[in-house]
Structure 1
Amino acid sequence: MEERKNKTFGLLGKEISYSFSRGYFTEKFKNLNLTNCKYVNFDIPKIEDFPSIVKNDDSICGINVTIPYKEEVIAYLNKLDTTAKKIGAVNTIKFTKRGNLKGYNTDVVGFEKSIAPFLKKHHKFALILGTGGASKAVAFALKQNHIKYKFVSRNPSNKKEISYQDLTEEIINKYTVIINCTPLGTSPNVNKYPAIPYQHLSEKHLLYDLIYNPELTVFLEKGKQRGATVKNGYQMLEIQAEESWAIWNQGK
């Protein structure tokens, strides 16, 4: 990393005051006694505002990216890591020594490592709720682990996508891993949840929610009531944050 006296890191997103990242990294810098590092929220209403952030602050060394800019930000980057290119979504940006912006995706590692201990032999098929940037990283990780998947969307646009209305008992019985990649249920709107037929869930199912606040969303609670194994996204965030930190600090 280019040596700067003061180093700024941050999170790019929209309406992100709730975010995990700022608190996590602020605590990390404190524990490591990195008094010259700070982590801020780059909360912008539209992606077109992104270049002005970069232009106006030459202390920025790295940025995380969250909803809704994981795909849109790619147009503003100079280079993409191989994995990010394959996924088509970026959640980590490194500012290189030459002043270039390079995009990475650490969501895939975070998801893969955090779900791995919960996967059983019968977990061969997965439903991915939502079609945004995070869902692409989830799909990439599932493919690497030989789990076939379908996206569930309010507006299906291709053969890999089905609608919520298409979720029959037969489909739910077959697709025993269900991952919520939508923002439904995030605090403060904790009473919202994806419209899947929860009555068909069983102890064979694994429900994974990328949301971490609240700890137990209605989506997970409904799965738990039917005997399903449930997991929230907090550990995924911790892992992807550490992966981001490693990328920002590698010497390339």
Structure 2
Amino acid sequence: MYNNMMLEERLFGLIGKNISYSFSKQYFLNKFNKENITKTRYGIFDLAYINNFEHILRKYPNLQGVNITIPYKKEVIQYVNYLSDEAYAISAVNTIKIKENSLIGYNTDIFGFKKTFAKHLLSTHKKALVLGNGGAAKAVIYVLKQLKVPYLIVSRNKKGDISYKEINEILLNQYKIIIHCTPIGTYPTTDQYPLIPYQFLTKDHYLYDLVYNPLESKFLKKGTESGAIVKNGLEMLYIQGELGWDLWNH
């Protein structure tokens, strides 16, 4: 049962699976301390199955908003009452506002990715390979369409445009942007990386990894060794986190 102190606190949190690596909780704790935000908590809700989300909603009546991460950005939509235009367009939600028993779904990944990705684009970066086809990839593809950057989706299953085995030197000479949208290489499996022919990367390539823990994944390290421009997902996390906070509170 809940004591009065717990019910007086505002609660926010992160929904995902195997998310002990996440920086989200520490980010918000630092924000609360720095900005003197009181009677507010941020928790980690590591769910083995998305249907456990209903249990979280019942257990924590003071829950006012959640971030959503891998692998539930698409599956969580079944619990949402309303979707923002962006979330509806890509069928992926990474932020939910809970207000008067209604759940409103947003996608702040779009804004966070666009702002951090676009500022490193060069004239040589004309086409992109998107590694993965999950909820995070949906936001990336939405931005690439806005920026009019042609792309191919690379996937291990038949849902992509091409498979990893089809990436070769000829393709990489044309597609100089490579955006990694899967959890491969995330802590604790930091020795893993997408299986692409890194020997064909050059200084004209641009590698963006949505992974932020570790700060330099094996994917980015291999890009750095080839002289490529590299960018991790930490700044994107912070930007979408701030936008989510604004949505929860205004």
TM-score (norm: length of structure 2): 0.95
**Cα deviation code 1:44-83 (max 9, x no counterpart):** 1000111111112111111000011000000111010000
Counterpart for residue 200 of structure 1? 200
**SS of residue matched to 1:85:** helix
Counterpart for residue 226 of structure 1? 226
1:127 aligns with 2:129: yes
Aligned residue pairs total: 244
1:90 aligns with 2:129: no
Counterpart for residue 237 of structure 1? 237
Unaligned runs of 5+ in 2: 1-6
Give distance in 1, aligned partners of 2:37 and 2:227. Answer: 45
In 1, are the aligned partners of 2:21 and 2:188 still within 8 Å (CA)?
A: no
**SS of residue matched to 2:162:** strand
Give distance in 1, aligned partners of 2:229 and 2:245. Answer: 31
Report the alpha carbon displacement of residue 156 of structure 1 after superposing the two structures with TM: 2.4
Given the alignment, which residue of 32, 35, 52 partners 2:35?
A: 32
Unaligned runs of 5+ in 1: none
Q: How do residues 83-162 of structure 1 correspond to structure 2 at under 5 angstroms?
A: 83-96=86-99, 98-157=100-159, 161-162=161-162
1:169 aligns with 2:172: no
The one-letter code sitting in structure 1 at the alignment partner of 2:213 is N
Give distance in 2, aligned partners of 1:216 and 1:41. Answer: 24
Give distance in 1, aligned partners of 2:200 and 2:21. Answer: 33
**Cα deviation code 1:175-217 (max 9, x no counterpart):** 1100111111111111110001111111110000111111111
Counterpart for residue 182 of structure 1? 182
Q: CA RMSD in A?
A: 1.1
**SS of residue matched to 2:8:** coil
Give distance in 1, aligned partners of 2:190 and 2:64. Answer: 34
Give distance in 1, aligned partners of 2:61 and 2:32. Answer: 20
Report sequence identity in percent: 50
TM-score (norm: length of structure 1): 0.94
Report the alpha carbon displacement of residue 102 of structure 1 after superposing the two structures with TM: 0.6
Report the alpha carbon displacement of residue 122 of structure 1 after superposing the two structures with TM: 2.3
The one-letter code sitting in structure 2 at the alignment partner of 1:78 is N
The one-letter code sitting in structure 2 at the alignment partner of 1:154 is R
Given the alignment, which residue of 6, 10, 13 partners 2:13?
A: 10
In 2, are the aligned partners of 1:216 and 1:232 still within 8 Å (CA)?
A: yes
